[in-house]
Structure 1
């Protein structure tokens, strides 16, 4: 005989079957419960207790649960560990279920599917980073990528051939990618995103167009631009997925913005990783360019900064306009300080607006809109009328919200609670009915206190209390010791409950008063909820204008952050034009300089000129390890990124012809999971550069060919250099230890030699970190090995081998013959400690026992010993 599932368990299994691929949070009172395999997986992931509840098919049912009030923290853990969670809430009052019979189950249904790309809760999101949901599709050899941040409403799409997918995912860093092509799993995982496999029908372009029209309430999308079939398919898939996960409650999405090809500097995934633009190689934010320059004071400003650094503009007019705004603010210290002080009080209106649109908001989100618009109006009034265009446009979007701000000011208290169901967020005097109901509720508390005093006097029990709980309501409580006095007055006190140490009573008056008070409390909450809905509707009616104001505040914040950076760090405005120049005077690495400053050390600035007449130049950079070649390469690339992102740059002066593409091959790493050695990774990245770089690109290469044999590596590096000069015709910095390549400067037009200077002193190598014209003749690898702490015997042996090889090279001898002639290394026992008579004599001295004459004699004796033992 098999177990028949209980009605509740039958309901659970039905909901679970309708939501495959997700853990089911099944609401039972104050807990979300999980059963069967979901419970086993969740208990392990959350490190919570796994219990049992009943049986199914003869086996105990595993069970675990999490409190509803703490569910967000558990959700965050599950999402970070790759789970999706379906939230099943009670959709009716339990009292209604009881009316249908004792075996009736409270109606439940999934109200939301929580996935990595659909988070909106403040506690689940990083305030200073976007949380993108992306969709990629190929329709008849035409690819498109769409992405949305439902926590802010930002919605974008672009034409994206398959080869461009990896670079774009690296730029956007989405949390979740929708696709119907399972062959993209590895590529998407490499970008750090979770892939959600959708059926191909979700990417139907016709259905996608209809979904978008319905979303925006239009008959045609022509007003938003012209979209390809692939772009409509990708956007439609996102809307379809949001309808499914949000159960029809769509977020407030802005009209889709179509990014045009060539609008931003092209930066591939390897370059972003090598340059540590937004994330350090260690995996965290600290140590990245973004962390070093982020002086924004608002979360939307920080997210805008990340977008600008990730996609520097190629629009000369736009770059100049942004530089104008930075220049104006950096030149007016008082205005800048006032703006940044006001901005620091601006909440995240974008995310508050999104939560309100999804009906997940609370009173504090209303207050956030009020505070943001209030500060926005003050900031607009502070900006001068002759401010640069970027600031004037922002100021224009910050005004015109006076009526809404006045409504919110009248309606809300200064510090509202988090949840609307808690009440207490509507200001006194806003709603007369609410004020009257509150008086009844609050005066009832005073009446209860007076009634308690009367009952205590009547019964002669000073410790008698009137209490309240959700089961009994109001009741009179006393100890068992005094209960007989109250039992002696049965007409007055009616027994309700006996516990271990307390006896509980009620009276007719207390029950009647409880009814009036409870009705007043519920009525007050009902009125406040109606006020909340009214205020929410007023905000959503102006959602588009509020969104514009939020973006304007982010723009001002970023301009102010760049201005603060420029004035505080001595950065200068770069000259950006349509030439192919690249001239940096006294450039510095912003991240390294910041780290050195913390250690009270200074950074050595260096010049870089990749322009030879009107022709782009290539610098062939030689010099020892640890001298700063990689730092020099990276700092020039970062200066280009900063300049086109709209910031000033760390240099004395900079003239940069617009950079269309930025490529970097710096550092060494393998990719064992895909069967790639360090050298293979290096060659793949180099191939991508040579196949894609155009004549407006900036390329930095470090140690090409070092992962293979000397002559193979030199041959590859030589050929790569020639290709960059002859085929790509781009600006480049090429660092190498192959000194033979310095001969190319005499053979190839535009190629110049540069070296990082060092100085030798008494066998030591001193790194000057200065880049000069010319070529290095040595790499000083043995000296660097000694600095790294290699055993002295190994360093000495390396010097012996090096001297023999260099001597043989000058005599044109075969390297192998020289190596054959070298005696093999022998591990020698550690040398015996040297005699130290001076130390021994000092140890034998007892200063307190010496007379003045003996002390003087000792000084002469020690001086003589010192001269005898001096080498």
Structure 2
């Protein structure tokens, strides 16, 4: 350290406290980066890597970016998963001796960004904190741009599900034991992980009292709730250490219980494409895209939150439905609300900018213009002939004092930057008025001097100019100087190639008055703006409350508009367990092809006589669409939205599970089938009788007999052990036999019309089972070569001729019925299922108690048996 230069010593001293960040070190008009930071930044930002003498034998790697355009470079680093520490000069270089004092004034990370170009205006930007206490986790998260803060306690096993629900941009956590769990979900969801988060090693436990009053903390019982307490302490310490200030926009903690909302695991969120599509991760094509008719950014964020966290409280759901119904049936009310809301800016994030002292004058005018619309919104609601909407209107604070303050003080077209002046109205402050008049009069005085000097000298081209170095000057061309005797009061100041510049005592005196006035007015306007901002800051809690009501109204109006335009119905919410949908439709598919082209379907499920629907039929016939639409209609009802159906009676569901499609998870070394079985295992362990389960083509990732056996066993297990409402699509036609063996299982299939060698998918779910897959027909529709289609038909006829299919059905039925294998010894020997010939394998099969096996145990047994047969050799088959 002694060898390095003083400036580099200062850099290294600051850098050691921000090892996990790229340090933007201010040198003049640039932010410079050195050593490893420079190497990383030059690669990510695609800027030149140079070097600088630092006192060491080798030059320090260095790169830099202009400070006035640094936001775009910071944005790129954040998007690539880095944190940026902004180190500024905190004293005037012209008055300081030696090295200018520098400090980190802010750390920008994915969870603490305030810059608009890094934020999705209709999505919260959450920073999450996790505190581990034995097997309990305290989870809290904040969007610092809006001040929204939430906290809960969960079991460790539910952590991934909670993260999938919240979708934070950044996570801090207290225990490295969580590394493995968090690593995987952070990669899949682009979450920045702060490993070994420093905020949990040097905690200021008093920080809670810096944000909240003692009475408020005691009311929430935070000090006695260890998990939430330390999760919040870690979170608030991190925010303070990165933003270097306490802000009043974080003034409320919403403590909730996970059971207050429907549980939706990460697989189901992905499969149902709630907020983004499975294929390209885009909003377009998702449920959110169909529903989002919000007019404000605040409403857009709340809508997303409702979709991600469906309610399970009947009264709360019905409250939303009743409010939506009142708006839906009133065209003028819907349109009037939309017209006013579309002119309201993002009040929540404007409050965040005020709290973090980042709001500029133009944004303050945006706040004023937004507040201006609030009385109009309130009057529209009050004048409507609605009961529930009127009560909502009475909660709206019109914020007239805030509007009056901004309207009286700030120019309607102010400058963007704070220190350039042109912010405050002359009528607001007498000093501003006087100084502004002085600068205006000074301009006239300069013009008068210019006119007088032209007349006195007779030089028409004489002019008075200004630059920052010399101030005001009189400029005369050299051609005119040859015929002109320079007056004695002209003082030569600068010689140019074609002209000479002069000053006079009179000109300098006026210049001093003008420049002093301009400088003073800038300082005064800046000071006045800070005072106005502080006054608004004192009322930030009031403004936030109004913003939340506006967002709430926006989402209700959005749902009403969607319901009216798309012909959705108001669902009845029940607690009896009955699920009944008449002419249900898939909201997303319907939005693409149009309601008139969508074939609606009915659904009837309950908790006793019809728990499980087994759906057979060809691929591409619409099984998956049908099952997804049942899930989405159920979920929409729990959000409090109207649903795409003619009529719907929806039970309170604690969880929705879907297992639709699968893919290899190469990062974890898992095959498609292993992923499928893992998801199914998760469902079977967590589903209750009040859950809705959607299973699509279970078992297709392995051999026919393994898959069929597993599918059969899984259906039995759900029916007998769990008893939840289930839709099970399958290409195993053998499963239709289950309807005859178990109460609560019914067969359905997709209607198909055959025309010669061609088929037409009717997209209609009808009662009964299908005995064909129509796979070759589907291949033909996909335009496979004709010779392949022809050959496949020949092979199919040969197989049918040899009665292979019938034997397989008989053998599989024998293998998995709940009978004593010892009583079926003679029949078992005639089975062509695997044709075992070795006595020890027969004995092992006889001893199996399949009906009491879990699906995973069944899979392991089948796998071991298969390997034993392979080891014996093909001559036994």
CA contact (8 A) 1:173 1:192 kept: no
- Quote the residue 2:219 is aligned against: 223
- 8 A contact 1:5–1:56 mirrored in 2: yes
Q: Which SS does the other structure have where 1:765 is aligned?
A: strand
Say whether residues 1:302 and 2:296 are aligned partners: no
Show the counterpart of 2:550: 553
CA distance in 2, matches of 1:443, 1:133: 53
- How far 1:110 moved relative to its partner? 0.7
1: distance between equivalents of 2:472 and 2:190? 56
What is the RMSD of the two structures over their aligned residues, measured on CA atoms? 2.6
Instruction: Report the Cα distance in structure 2 between the residues aligned to 1:28 and 1:496, rounded to whole angstroms.
Output: 33
Return the match for 1:256 from 249, 253, 256: 253
| CA-to-aligned-CA distance 1:797-855 (integer Å, 9 cap, x gap) | 1111122222222686789x99xxxxxxxxxxxxxxxxxxxxxxxxxxxxxxxxxxxxx
**Cα distance in 2, alignment partners of residues 751 and 287 from structure 1:** 33
Q: Does structure 1 residue 243 correspond to structure 2 residue 240?
A: yes
Check conservation: 2:374, 2:398, Cα contact below 8 A. no
Counterpart Cα distance in 1 of 2:3 and 2:441: 53
Between the two proteins, the alignment pairs up a number of residues equal to: 806
Following superposition of structure 1 onto structure 2, how do residues 698-709 of structure 1 map, counting pairs within 5 Å? 698-709=692-703
* Equivalent residue number for residue 352 of structure 2: 354
Gaps of 5+ in 2: 810-830, 833-877
Check conservation: 2:621, 2:750, Cα contact below 8 A. yes
Whether the aligned pair in 1 keeps the contact of 2:210 and 2:246 (CA below 8 Å) is no
Q: Which region of structure 1 is more displaced relative to structure 2, 299-308 or 629-638?
A: 629-638
Contact (CA 8 Å) 1:143, 1:162: kept in 2 or not? yes
Distance in 2, Cα, partners of 1:539 & 1:616: 60
Tell me if structure 2 keeps the 8 A contact 1:209–1:232: no
Inter-partner Cα distance in structure 2 for 1:378 and 1:657: 39
Structure 2 CA distance for aligned equivalents of residues 62 and 592 of structure 1: 55
In the other structure, the counterpart of 2:813 is none
1:210 corresponds, among 191, 197, 206, to: 206
Query: 2:817 corresponds to which residue?
Result: none
* Counterpart among 146, 149, 155 of residue 152 in structure 1: 146
Which of 515, 519, 525 aligns to 2:516? It is: 519
Of 751, 762, 766 in structure 2, the residue corresponding to residue 772 of structure 1 is 766
**Is the CA contact 2:371–2:398 (under 8 Å) kept in the aligned structure 1?**
no
User: How far 1:512 moved relative to its partner?
Assistant: 2.1
Shift of 1:346: 0.7
Q: Does 1:126 align with 2:116?
A: no
- 1:121-168 per-position Cα deviation (integer Å, ceiling 9, x unaligned): 223211111000001121122212110000000011111211111111
CA deviation after TM superposition for structure 1 residue 24, in Å: 1.3
Find out whether 1:273 has 2:270 as its counterpart.
yes
8 Å contact kept, 1:43–1:49: yes
1:726–1:471 distance in 2 versus 1, CA, 3 Å: farther
Counterpart CA distance in 1 for 2:217 and 2:784 is 68
CA displacement at 1:421 relative to structure 2: 2.0
Q: Does 1:113 align with 2:107?
A: yes
Map of 2:567 onto structure 1: 570
Stretch moving more, 361-370 or 767-776: 361-370
Q: How has the CA–CA distance of structure 1 residues 657 and 489 changed in structure 2, closer, same or farther, with 3 Å as cutoff?
A: same
Mapped partners of 2:45, 2:463: distance in 1:
42
| 1:587 counterpart = 2:581 | no
What is the rounded CA distance, in whole Å, between the counterparts of 1:631 and 1:764 in structure 2?
22
Deviation at 1:796? 1.4
1:284-325 per-residue CA deviation (whole Å, 9 max, x = no partner) reads 111111112100010000000000000001111111111111
Partner of 1:69: 68
1:506 aligns with 2:506: no
Instruction: Give distance in 1, aligned partners of 2:686 and 2:118.
Output: 39
2:428 to 427, 430, 434: 430
1:240, CA displacement in angstroms? 0.7
Q: 2:572·2:650 contact (CA, 8 Å) conserved in 1?
A: yes
Residues of 1 paired with 2:785 and 2:153: CA distance? 57
Q: 1:87 to 1:440 in 2, by over 3 A?
A: same
Deviation at 1:279, TM superposition (A): 1.1
Query: Are the structure 2 counterparts of residues 811 and 621 from structure 1 closer, same or farther at C-alpha, using a change threshold of 3 Å?
Result: closer
Q: Distance in 2 between matches of 1:542 and 1:229?
A: 32
Asked if the contact 2:274/2:286 (under 8 Å) is kept, the reply is yes
Map Cα deviations across residues 762-807 of structure 1 (whole Å, 9 max, x no partner): 3112111111111111111111112212211112111111222222
Find the counterpart in structure 1 of residue 605 from structure 2: 610
**Contact kept in structure 2, 1:166 and 1:191, CA below 8 Å:** no
2:642 is aligned, of 640, 648, 654, to: 648
Match of 1:806 in 2: 800
Equivalents in 2 of 1:635, 1:19: separation in Å? 50
Hey, what's the Cα distance between the residues in 2 that align with 1:457 and 1:54? Answer: 59
Alpha-carbon displacement from aligned partner over 1:370-407 (angstroms, at most 9, x marks no partner): 22322122111111377767634542332252222212
| CA drift at 1:35 | 2.6
User: Which residue number in structure 1 is paired with residue 25 of structure 2?
Assistant: 26
Matches of 1:702 and 1:208 in 2, distance apart?
Answer: 51
CA separation of 1:733 and 1:374: change in aligned 2, threshold 3 A: same
Higher mean C-alpha displacement, 546-555 vs 795-804: 795-804
Change in Cα spacing, 1:582 to 1:61, as seen in structure 2 (3 Å) is same
CA contact (8 A) 1:177 1:194 kept: yes
In structure 2, the residue matched to 1:495 is 492
Q: Work out whether residues 199 and 238 of structure 2, in 8 Å CA contact, stay in contact via their aligned partners in 1.
A: no
Alignment pair present for 1:330 and 2:328: yes
CA distance in 2, matches of 1:387, 1:229: 49
Aligned to 1:836: none
Q: Distance in 2 between matches of 1:797 and 1:508?
A: 105
Tell me if 1:676 matches 2:675.
no
| Cα distance, 1:616 vs structure 2 | 5.3
For residues 482 and 696 of structure 1, the distance between their equivalents in structure 2, rounded to whole angstroms, comes to 98
Shift of 1:739: 0.5
| Rounded Cα–Cα distance in structure 1 between residues aligned with 2:189 and 2:109 | 17
For 1:434-458, what per-residue CA distance to the aligned partner results, in whole angstroms no more than 9, with x for missing partners? 1111111223233334434444555
Going from structure 1 to structure 2, the CA distance change for 1:469 and 1:65 (only over 3 Å counts) comes to: farther
Contact 2:132-2:138 at 8 Å conserved across structures: yes
Give the distance between the partners of 2:69 and 2:795, measured in 1 at CA: 66
Take 1:499 and 1:162, find their aligned partners in 2: how far apart are those partners? 77
Q: Which deviates more from structure 2 when the two are superposed, residues 451-460 or residues 249-258?
A: 451-460
Deviating more after overlay: 512-521 vs 364-373:
364-373
SS in 2 for 1:617: strand
**Contact 2:382 2:393 survives alignment (8 Å):** no
In 1, are the aligned partners of 2:362 and 2:415 still within 8 Å (CA)? yes
- Tell me which residue corresponds to 2:134: 140
State yes or no: 1:657 paired with 2:627.
Answer: no
What residue is the counterpart of 2:412 in the other structure? 414
What is the deviation of 1:66?
2.1
Which residue matches 1:179? 173
Aligned to 2:36: 37
**Distance verdict in 2 for CA 1:53–1:659, change over 3 Å:** same
Query: Is 72-81 or 551-560 further displaced after alignment?
Result: 72-81
